[in-house]
Chains A and B, each alone.
Chain A
Amino acid sequence: MQPTSHSFKQNASAALIDADLQRALGHARGGFSTKRAMARDLLPEFDALCEQAKQIKDHTIAHLDLYLEAYEQKVIETGGQVHWATTAEDARQIILGICKEAGAKLVTKGKSMVAEEISLNGALEGAGYEVAETDLGEYIIQIRNEAPSHIIAPAVHLNRDQVEADFRRVHKHLPEGRSLTEPTELVSEARGILREKFLAADVGITGANFIIAETGTSVIVTNEGNGDLTQLLPRIHIVLTTIEKVVPTLSDVSAILRVLARSATGQEISMYTTFSTGPRRPGDPDGPEEYHVVLLDNGRTEMIGSDFQDMLRCIRCGSCMNHCPVYSAVGGHSYGWVYPGPMGAVLTPQLIGVHEAGSLPNASTFCGRCEAVCPMKIPLPKMMRHWREREYDAGDSPWLQRMAIRGWSYAAKRPKLYRFFANAAMGVMGEWGKARGNFRWLPLAGAWLKYRDLPAPPGRTFQSQWKSELKRRRIEAEMQELGL
Chain B
Amino acid sequence: MSARDKVIGAIRAGLGARGDEPGRRGQVRARLERSPHGLIPARARQTKPELIAQFARMLEAQTAVVRTVENLKALPQAIAEQLAAFNLPARLRHGDDPVIAGLDWEGTMIERETGPAIGTDAISLSRASLAASETGTLILTSGADNPSTLNFLPDTHFVVLLAENLHGSYEEAWDALRTTYGRGAMPRTVNFVSGPSATADIEHTLVRGAHGPRRLAVFVVLNGQPTRRKN
Give the interface of A toward B (CB within 8 A): 24, 27-28, 31, 43-45, 48-49, 52, 56, 59, 62-70, 72, 74, 78, 84-86, 90, 134-137, 140, 153-156, 158-160, 163, 183-184, 186-188, 191, 194-195, 198-199, 213-215, 217, 223-226, 228-229, 232-233, 243, 248-252, 254-255, 257-258, 265, 268-281, 283-287, 295, 297, 301-306, 309
Contact = CB atoms under 8 A, between A and B. Distances in A.
Interface of B: 2-4, 6-8, 10-17, 19, 24-25, 27-28, 31-32, 35-39, 41-43, 58, 62, 95, 115-117, 119, 135-137, 142-144, 147-149, 151-153, 169-171, 174, 184-205, 207, 209-213
Contacts of A229: 152-153, 211-212
Contact of A287 (B136, B188, B212): B188
Contacts of B203: 24, 27, 159-160, 183
A297 B42 CA distance: 38
A187 B3 contact: no
Q: Which of A90, A268, A295 counts the most chain B CB atoms within 10 A?
A: A268
A163 B202 contact: yes
B24 A63 contact: yes
A271 B8 contact: no
Given A232-B149, A251-B37, A251-B174, A225 B212 contact: yes
B186 A277 contact: yes
A264 to B, nearest CB: 11
A287 B207 CA distance: 27
A136 B198 contact: no
Contacts of A250: 35, 170-171, 174
A155 B37 CA distance: 38
14 contacts: A49-B41, A63-B27, A135-B201, A163-B202, A199-B119, A254-B171, A268-B58, A271-B194, A271-B197, A277-B187, A281-B188, A284-B147, A286-B148, A287-B188
A137 B202 CA distance: 8
A360 B223 CA distance: 59
A223 B197 contact: yes
B147 A183 contact: no
Nearest to B193: A272
A180 to B, nearest CB: 11
A86 B32 contact: no
B7 A187 contact: no
A284 B202 contact: no
Contacts of A68: 7-8, 11
Contacts of A163: 202
Given A63-B27, A183-B202, A279 B188 contact: yes
Contacts of A272: 191-194, 197, 212
Which 10 pairs show the lowest CB-CB distances between chains A and B? Answer: A225-B212, A304-B14, A301-B10, A224-B210, A283-B144, A254-B170, A305-B14, A137-B201, A273-B192, A249-B35
Nearest to A136: B201
A89 to B, nearest CB: 11
Contact of A297 (B7, B16, B149, B205): B7
A215 B201 contact: no
A160 B205 CA distance: 10
Contacts of B204: 27-28, 31, 153, 156
Contact of B211 (A44, A74, A153, A194): A194
Given A45-B41, A84-B2, A86-B6, A214 B184 contact: yes
B200 A265 contact: yes
Given A65-B12, A229-B152, 8 more contacts: A65-B11, A70-B32, A183-B205, A225-B212, A232-B189, A249-B35, A251-B35, A297-B7
A301 B13 CA distance: 9
A137 B211 CA distance: 12
Nearest to A70: B32
Contacts of A158: 202
Contact of A280 (B119, B185, B188): B188
Nearest to B169: A254
A285 B188 contact: no
A278 B188 CA distance: 6
A49 B212 contact: no
Contacts of B187: 277
Nearest to B28: A66
B207 to A, nearest CB: 4
B210 A225 contact: yes
Contacts of B135: 268-269
B119 A195 contact: yes
Contact of A223 (B7, B137, B184, B198): B198
A232 B148 CA distance: 8
A258 B134 CA distance: 10
Contacts of A223: 197-200, 210
A225 B202 contact: no
B116 A64 contact: no
Nearest to A282: B144
B197 A225 contact: yes
A198 to B, nearest CB: 8
B192 A186 contact: no
Nearest to A160: B203
Contact of A63 (B28, B144, B189): B28
A3 B95 CA distance: 49
A305 B43 CA distance: 39
A84 B41 contact: no
A38 to B, nearest CB: 12
Contacts of A59: 31
A67 B3 contact: no
B43 to A, nearest CB: 8
Contacts of A186: 202
B11 A52 contact: no
Given A224-B197, A226-B210, A232-B148, A274 B35 contact: no
A86 B6 CA distance: 8
A225 B198 CA distance: 8
